[in-house]
Each structure stands twice: as structure tokens, then as C-alpha cells.
């Protein structure tokens, strides 16, 4: 694949930059390579348990300096979508992390536990029966059902742990309603990446470790795509898909080296 047209990266985080608390490769050196050739890194994760500011601070601890507006979480996608499709007065019930609540509140939305226009479900490590019951009641009363993502599992430093899809399935099972999903493979977050950079999707390389979210979302948004083998998927696990990623690489460092080599030719 010719990488000369690539001007920005839309990077998944879990399985691309780190496994839980363990970085994948020498992140400062990798990002120095991107900086050297003028490639803009943007970050797009389906994980909404941290705010963009918290991701910025987390990366800083790993030696990589970025701005929080380079990070696009499902909370950023949700605020964008709700402002576009509802009004700033929309009343939102969040069954999810405090980070998600914090971001939506800062964006100007009011969060409620009754008379909601929207129910947003996400990974909640303090999931309870009562929380499922509240979400069910509000959806049955007419609230629109949104989910940040359907990820069944996510990587942690202790191995795989249940993902946001578990909470979404609970609400879906008792309501019979399917949610509108904000995270990848929905294209909302990639569209925001294009808007932020002013680039055409074909100038952005979407990099991820999962086909059904990162790669499929990138393809749908019109981006070029690269699967890294440092996370969930492998060459054999994606062999069944008709549309393949433009690149399959060992890890992010391999992509950085490939870009660097092409630019210096």
C-alpha cells in the first residue's frame, strides 16, 4: 500500500498502545517518528471509562505528550450526535462510567434518572440489577436507547474482562429494543477526526487491533485501514472477511517505521 497520502492516524488505544498498564513497544520513540514526518496522531477508543483529559494524562505518564482534543471517546461522539439530533436541552440518563457522565455534563447536557429523552448505556464496573431496571423503565416510557459500544470483552493487565456490550445486552434483553451504537464501527468518531483535521477520510489511516470495530469502522468512514497483531485479531481470525484492511502489521512501531521509510525515499 502507498502510504504517501496519509496525513493523520486515527489510533485505537487498548491493544494498539497498551494492554492495561503495559505499553506496547517504546511509545515515546514511536510518536517521535510520527512527529518527525508530520503525521498527526488522533486517538479513537470505544472505551469510555476515561475522559479525553484522563487519556492525555495517561499517555503523558507513558512519555507521550498530546492535547486532550486529539482524543475522541464515545462520550465525544455522543455529545456531537445528541447536539445534532436532539437539542442541548435533551435529558440524558447514563448507565455507565463517571467519566462519561462528567463529559456530557461539561458539554451542557442535564443528566436525569427519570423522564429521560435518551438512555445511554456503557461499560459500568459497578453494574447492578437496579441500574438495569431504571434503564428498562425509561426506555419503555419512550426514551431513545444509545450504546457507546458493543465490545464483549476488553484487554486489561490481568487478561480479558467483560466489556460494555454486557451492560447493553442486559438492557436489550429486558426491553427488546436494539440500541443505536456510537462507537466503532459507527463512523461518527472517524467523522469527528476528519472534521478536527480538515482532512479527507482517505488521508487518514485508521489503526486498530479489532476487525469488527476498528477496521470495519475505518472502511465504512472511507479511511485507509491497518490491523495490528498486538491485540484481539490475527491474520487467521480476519481471513473470513471479504473486505480486508489495507495493511496488516505486527504493531504500531512497524507502521511508524514503514511511514518513516516511505517519507525518506
Does residue 233 touch Mg ion according to CB under 5 A?
A: no
Strand ranges, E, within 166-234:
180-181, 204-208, 224-228
The three three-digit cell numbers of residue 226, written as one number: 491497518
Active-site choice (12, 124, 214, 251):
12
Give whichever of 14 and 246 is closer to Mg ion, judged by the CB atom. 14
Residue 184 known to bind ligand: yes
Active-site choice (14, 151, 214, 233):
14
CB of 214 to Mg ion, least distance (A): 6
Contact positions with Mg ion (CB under 5 A) in 39-78: none
Give whichever of 118 and 155 is closer to Mg ion, judged by the CB atom. 155
12 assigned to active site: yes
Between β-strands 159-162 and 153-156, what pairing exists: parallel, antiparallel or unpaired?
A: antiparallel
CB proximity list for 61: less than 8 A, separation 6 or greater: none
Q: Say how far apart CA 82 and CA 88 lie, in whole Å.
A: 8
Residue nearest to Mg ion (CB): 15
Pick from 8, 12, 50, 184 the residue near Mg ion by CB under 5 A: 12
Interface with Mg ion (CB under 5 A), residue total 4
Does residue 15 touch Mg ion according to CB under 5 A?
A: yes
Cα–Cα separations (whole angstroms), residue 117 to 84, 161, 222: 14, 31, 32
113 assigned to active site: no
Contact positions with Mg ion (CB under 5 A) in 152-211: 209
Site of grid cell 447536539:
83
- DSSP per-residue codes, 5-67: T--EEEE--BTTTEETTEESS-HHHHHHHHHHTTPEEEEE-S--SS-HHHHHHHHHHTT----
Does residue 251 touch Mg ion according to CB under 5 A?
A: no
x-or-dash pattern for Mg ion, window 106-145, by CB under 5 A?
----------------------------------------
Binding residues for substrate: 184
> Among all residues, which ones are annotated catalytic?
12, 14
For Mg ion, the binding residues (CB under 5 A) are 12, 14-15, 209
Amino acid at each position: 500500500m502507498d502510504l504517501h497520502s496519509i496525513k493523520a492516524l486515527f489510533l485505537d488505544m487498548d491493544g494498539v498502545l497498551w494492554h492495561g498498564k503495559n505499553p506496547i513497544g517504546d511509545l515515546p520513540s514511536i510518536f517521535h517518528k510520527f512527529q518527525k514526518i508530520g503525521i498527526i496522531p488522533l486517538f479513537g477508543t470505544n472505551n469510555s471509562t476515561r475522559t479525553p483529559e484522563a487519556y492525555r494524562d495517561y499517555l503523558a505518564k507513558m512519555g507521550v505528550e498530546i492535547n486532550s482534543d486529539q482524543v475522541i471517546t464515545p462520550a465525544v461522539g455522543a455529545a456531537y450526535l445528541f447536539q445534532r439530533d436532539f437539542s442541548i436541552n435533551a435529558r440524558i440518563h447514563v448507565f455507565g462510567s463517571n467519566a462519561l457522565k462528567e463529559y456530557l455534563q461539561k458539554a451542557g447536557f442535564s443528566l436525569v434518572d427519570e423522564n429521560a429523552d435518551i438512555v445511554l448505556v456503557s461499560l459500568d464496573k459497578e453494574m447492578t440489577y437496579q441500574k438495569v431496571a431504571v434503564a428498562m423503565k425509561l426506555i419503555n416510557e419512550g426514551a431513545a436507547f444509545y450504546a457507546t459500544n458493543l465490545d464483549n470483552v476488553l484487554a486489561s493487565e490481568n487478561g480479558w474482562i467483560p466489556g460494555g456490550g454486557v451492560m447493553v445486552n442486559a438492557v436489550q434483553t429486558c426491553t427488546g429494543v436494539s440500541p443505536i451504537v456510537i462507537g466503532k464501527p459507527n463512523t461518527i468518531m472517524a467523522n469527528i477526526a476528519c472534521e478536527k483535521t480538515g482532512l479527507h477520510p482517505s488521508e487518514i489511516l485508521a489503526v486498530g487491533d479489532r476487525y469488527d470495530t476498528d477496521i470495519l469502522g475505518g472502511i465504512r468512514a472511507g479511511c485507509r485501514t491497518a490491523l495490528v497483531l498486538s491485540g484481539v485479531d490475527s491474520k487467521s481470525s480476519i481471513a473470513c472477511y471479504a473486505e480486508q484492511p489495507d495493511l496488516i502489521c505486527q504493531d504500531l512501531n512497524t507502521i511508524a517505521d514503514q511511514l518513516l521509510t516511505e517519507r525518506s525515499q
